[in-house]
Structure 1
Amino acid sequence: MNERTPGGAPESYGDERLATKLATLLGPGHPVAAAAVVSPSAVTVAGYGAGGPDADFEMASISKGITGLLYADALERQEIEPGTTLGDLLPLGGSPAARVSLESLSTHTSGLPRLPASAQPLRRTIALWRHGTNPYGESLTELLAQAREVKVGKPVPRYSNLGFELLGHALAAAAGTTYAGLVADRIAGPLGLPGLYVPADPRQLRATALPGRSKRGRPREPWTGEAVGPAGGIRASVRDLARLISSLLDGSAPGVAALDPVAPFGRGMRIGAAWITMNMAGREVTWHNGGSGGFRSWLGLDRAGRTGVAVLSATAVPVDRHGFALLVGPPRRGALRT
């Protein structure tokens, strides 16, 4: 999928002007990348190095945005209430995590840590740096065992991968299915996103799955795992994200209320169900980013202007500022934090 022209430049596809602009913005540090730009007048997709618009990338933490949509959708279906707790839906016994509400999970205010200490995150991070291994391979059973032991802190804004893992699986339990099944039934199927899926292990990767690389070009294992799906395990193509953006802008996406900010989340930002809203260049932008061992992603919306952008790269170098630049112009320094 990394075909090159005779001159050595990556083979591009889609809209030529957007492909050229993307390559100029990202530079040589992103040899495999794609972008979608949605406006009231057009939907434009382009990329290079990936073979075509159906190649799928790891979305990493943009997966949390999908889980946020599923949370808002479950509220609309009355499958859950804001005060529903993890213990109401998952077998967590009398653990502190069982008393955590789904509402607090959706806004990163549950008091749960970013990762459970029992998962040995430092050891896994070192293994990722040295060997490129996947640090998130737990099953749901293993995740629940970790959750039963975790300590719950103060309910203040604190970004939590663990929280969104548990939120997604709780929503699936409320619907009587798996998280992968929930994504397929309520997001991918209804919106016509054939390349958006949640692989539980590398054997479930499709032929369209791109390999990821570190910022130095070293191969990285795919971040697959049953547990991590709701927080960072979804894959999608740029064509899928173009359609997702269109549905978010026109309000046809399930759970679109997830985009509406309901609580403060850091300096100058507010949060809905996972989605962050902030003022950028005089425009209100709703967005989420993602980063894994071998991929970076960004999706942003100017809802008032009915425009949206997604940027995907199969290299672990951030693309946030490039996404903001495509949507509203260069961001101010220090504004991009999740």
Structure 2
Amino acid sequence: MRRTTAIALLVALLAGLVGIVLMPRVPRLGPQVTGDPELAGAVRAAVPDPKGHRGLAVALVENGRTRVAGLGDRDGTGRPVEPGTPFEIGSVPKTFTGMLLADQVAAGVVGPDDRLGATWPAVTGPARDVTLAELASHRAGLPRLAPGSPLGWARILWSNVSGGDPYAGQDVDSVRTAADRVTPGDGRGSVHYSNLGPSVLGQALAAKAGVAYPDLLQARLLRPLGMTATVVAAGSGDLPADRAQGSRASGRALDPWLGPGYAPAGIGVWSTAEDLARLVAATAGGTAPGADAATARYRENADTRIGYGWFTTRHGDREIVWHNGAAGGFRSYVGFEPATGRAVVVLGNTDKGVEPIGLRLLGVPKENAGEAAPVTPWWIGAGLAVAFTFLGGLALLGTVRRPNLDRVTLVSAAVWAFAYLGLGHRLGDWSMVPAWLWPVGAGLSAAGVALAVIRWPTLPAVDAAVPWRRMLSVTSSLAAAAVAVAAVAA
């Protein structure tokens, strides 16, 4: 017995040492600096915690001068972020779509109170009666995402687990079909954030103009502002070269999001700190096409109002006009202070929020800037890390100690011990949990395997009254383990 325990402990120690090499590596804002060194220093001072960030691209506009800087690593290889490095910018283009509405209203093409059905006659469902202004200000009573079939929701869930693209295949027809299926809810008239609403608005404006949304955006906003590095990627071939790689704050790389139907809400849109600085500077100065979109028109709560896409929020004695964005492993923030004309752009290539950095650079005190909200509650990511890391090893050790045991059951328990380790490695938020716990879990699983190997010669192949049922159960369990590992290893 003592010899068996000693062998298990030795194997656990060796596995733990190997696990140290393989344990999760949480990104941390690197030392690389490009562009304006003074701005880069101000950014580092504004970062509450460098852990969970990998790279940042920042622009600051003040006193008529634009400064840009890159900090850290663009893709996990050590290549530095530069001011012109493309980032996926998430929902920031909702402001583009709001500005297109303001621009088209100023041109007399549409009116803010025009109905969706009059602007895009292809929409024939109940949502055809909402107004363009309601769509631009999240007041149309539409859901956050298009209603879908159980198969569609399963695909989205799989994408979130595997780090894939939840918007893949969502084209303009998908958005139009979704608009036909939805009925504006009881929340119509009050602000309820939606990705579907701005998408429908942008496609409606494009249909009215007789062009595709990217072409309308290029002609009416990007080209006049000189935003030559901003692109709408409909497919992987449209992705910009030398772009940043998005990842979770725990380090796991994620796929870009591509869904041309949702481009007006920001899906598949890439830009740079330099380009977005042109946008916020011109909007703050009132010279951008559709700059009136930033005018606050409707109240969301005591501190926040909204215009067409742009939010206006009071932070202490400062009022900031802004929008943020979240995509596949990216975070973004653009904002300006009307009272001073100061404007900021912050782009990050992990899913750790960058809003507090932008607010600090705008002069908002730390106590009013708040902290970055996690993608999911912290206890979920931390819980997944700890539970998956130790669950398999503990279960295997319990199985090995069972008096009535057979080899097929033992194989299933051993496979799951390492499948759970993989799930913990990939799905856990290791920015919230000490990464050294993972090698401990690896050692625990290895100890269980060592004990299983020792007991193996004494076990029957199948010990069950109905052997085929036991084999079916074990086969199903192994198949589930293979699917789980495949999902997180993609």
TM-score of the two chains, using structure 1 as the length reference: 0.92
The whole-number CA distance in structure 2 between the counterparts of 1:261 and 1:224 is 31
Pick from 168, 175, 181: which aligns with 2:209? 175
Deviation at 1:119, TM superposition (A): 6.2
- State yes or no: 1:98 paired with 2:117: no
Kindly provide the amino acid, as one letter, of the partner of residue 208 in structure 1.
D
1:13 to 34, 41, 54: 34
Q: How does 1:102-251 map to 2 (within 5 A)?
A: 102-118=132-148, 122-137=153-168, 138-154=170-186, 155=188, 156-233=190-267, 234-251=269-286
Higher helix share: 2
Identify unmatched segments of 5+ residues in structure 2.
1-28, 75-80, 374-490
Structure 2 equivalent of residue 56 of structure 1: 86
Distance in 1 of aligned mates of 2:124 and 2:221: 33
Who is 1:4 aligned against? Answer: none
- Is 2:52 the counterpart of 1:29? yes
Equivalent in the alignment of 1:319: 354
Separation in 1 of the partners of 2:333 and 2:208? 29
1:85 corresponds, among 95, 115, 118, to: 115
**Tell me, what secondary structure is at the counterpart of 1:213?**
coil
Question: After the TM superposition, which segments of 4 or more aligned residues of structure 1 sit over 4 Å from their partners?
Answer: 119-122, 333-337
1:19 deviation in Å? 1.4
- Equivalent residues of 2:356, 2:371 under 8 A apart: no
2:71 aligned with 1:45, yes or no? no
Q: Deviations over 1:26-60 (max 9, x none)?
A: 31321111111100142110012244222111111
What displacement does 1:63 show?
1.0
Alignment-mate amino acid for residue 343 of structure 2: G
Distance 1:17 1:116 in 2: 45
Correspondence 1:281-292 to 2 at 5 A: 281-292=316-327
- The residue number in structure 2 matching 1:5 is none
What is the Cα deviation at residue 20 of structure 1?
Answer: 2.6
Q: 2:349, 2:123 → 1: CA distance?
A: 40
For the aligned residue pairs, the C-alpha RMSD in angstroms reads 2.0
Displacement of 1:249 after TM fit? 2.0
- Alignment check: 8 A CA contact 1:164 1:230 kept: yes
Q: Residue 93 of structure 1: CA displacement?
A: 4.7
Deviation at 1:125, TM superposition (A): 4.5
Distance 1:252 1:262, change over 3 A: same
Report the AA paired with residue 142 of structure 1.
S
Q: Which is higher, the Rg of structure 1 or of structure 2? A: 2
> What is the alpha-carbon distance in structure 2 between the residues aligned to residue 44 and residue 281 of structure 1?
26
Contact 2:116 2:131 in 1 (8 A): yes
> Greater strand share, 1 or 2?
1
- Structure 2 distance, partners of 1:107, 1:298, is 18
The 1:30/1:274 distance shift into structure 2, 3 A limit, reads same
String of CA shifts for 1:260-284, please: whole Å, max 9, x gaps: 0011012321111011112223121
Identify if the C-alpha distance between structure 1 residues 166 and 259 changes in structure 2 by more than 3 Å, giving closer, same or farther.
same
Structure 1 letter corresponding to 2:368: R
The alpha-carbon distance between structure 1 residues 84 and 208, as it changes in their structure 2 partners (threshold 3 A), is: farther
1:178-226 per-position Cα deviation (integer Å, ceiling 9, x unaligned): 1111111111111111111111111111213222111211111111221
Contact 2:300 2:306 in 1 (8 A): yes
Distance of 2:316 and 2:220 partners within structure 1: 34
SS of structure 2 residue aligned to 1:36: strand
Q: 1:102 to 1:148 in 2, by over 3 A?
A: same
SS in 1 for 2:368: coil
Distance 1:47 1:141 in 2: 39
Match of 1:297 in 2: 332
- Range moving further from structure 2, 18-27 or 54-63: 18-27
- In 1, the alpha carbon distance for the partners of 2:197 and 2:284 equals 27
Classify 1:249/1:333 alpha carbon distance in 2 versus 1 (closer, same or farther; 3 Å). closer
What is the Cα deviation at residue 287 of structure 1?
0.6
Q: CA deviation at 1:334?
A: 6.9
Task: Indicate conservation of the 8 Å contact 1:128/1:293, yes or no.
Answer: no
In 1, the alpha carbon distance for the partners of 2:117 and 2:370 equals: 38
Q: What is the aligned residue count? A: 330
Map of 1:272 onto structure 2: 307
CA contact (8 A) 2:160 2:166 kept: no
Shift of 1:331: 5.3
